[in-house]
Structure 1
């Protein structure tokens, strides 16, 4: 079975909520970052390896989030992560945050751009990264219809 989409579970922590125990919008960035990092690790590209590669960096270019339902402290979320676009110089990651009851809490899209370290100019996504991420490429529809959200 192909890895797409990649799944990870995480609880909403005290630091993630406001005074009435509802997840703060800024907490979603923690979930998105965690989901991206764990997908990359699962693909055989742990960040430590990428950071040690002297010729490339992959900074964030864009992040957007649709907030669809509230989530509360101690709720268990499933982070469904996939690559919706593997471009020449960029990668688009999607992270859907699902509540255990099947409610889509938030849907995030993040674009990272591959750049040279020396000049911080765009460069092609290396073949090693492209090959490692290929199994995680799927559409939003495919990811959301996959069993075991």
Structure 2
């Protein structure tokens, strides 16, 4: 089984832009999810799984906000695959600002074939790619 240190992960760096802030001057809650989705895109491309875009809607997210991030601040978002199920996948993430962890949480996606009324099992190429790297695949 893969250890947390060997699971597929990516870290991206962004700067808090003006459109990422709210009326109080710090990051808007939605900015964290945009940074997480940017990290997800980079991770999937790196794994050769970019074809999942359009087939893996978000079904759940949770975020614990720990600190504020301010306009111009450098932000590092680390995202990793924590668990893979028959038709879903759980990412976990941390968002760090210049003073430490600003947010942490999880994002769950599900695989859905076009026209299907609900979640469908992951294609074999996804299962084999992720299973070999993550080591946590529920059958």
Q: Same fold (TM over 0.5)?
A: yes
Which residue matches 2:48? 44
CA separation of 1:124 and 1:5: change in aligned 2, threshold 3 A: same
How do residues 22-101 of structure 1 correspond to structure 2 at under 5 angstroms? 22-46=26-50, 49-51=51-53, 57-101=55-99
CA separation of 1:58 and 1:28: change in aligned 2, threshold 3 A: same
What is the DSSP-based 3-state SS (H/G/I as helix, E as strand, rest coil) of the residue aligned with 2:40?
Answer: helix
1:89-115 Cα distance to aligned partner (Å, 9 max, x none): 1000112101234x1110121111112
1:69-88 Cα distance to aligned partner (Å, 9 max, x none): 11111111111110111111
**Is the 1:32–1:108 Cα contact (8 Å) retained in structure 2?**
no
What is the DSSP-based 3-state SS (H/G/I as helix, E as strand, rest coil) of the residue aligned with 1:26?
Answer: helix
Which residue matches 1:142? none
User: For the residues of structure 1 that align with 2:98 and 2:103, how far apart are their CA atoms?
Assistant: 13
**Is the 1:71–1:99 Cα contact (8 Å) retained in structure 2?**
yes
TM-score (norm 1): 0.77
1:107-130 Cα distance to aligned partner (Å, 9 max, x none): 121111112212232221112112
CA separation of 1:137 and 1:28: change in aligned 2, threshold 3 A: same
Q: CA RMSD in A?
A: 2.4
**Is the 1:116–1:123 Cα contact (8 Å) retained in structure 2?**
yes
CA separation of 1:23 and 1:138: change in aligned 2, threshold 3 A: farther
Unaligned runs of 5+ in 1: 140-149
1:105 and 2:88 aligned = no
Which residue matches 1:144? none
User: How many residue pairs align between the two structures?
Assistant: 132
Unaligned runs of 5+ in 2: none
CA separation of 1:41 and 1:5: change in aligned 2, threshold 3 A: same
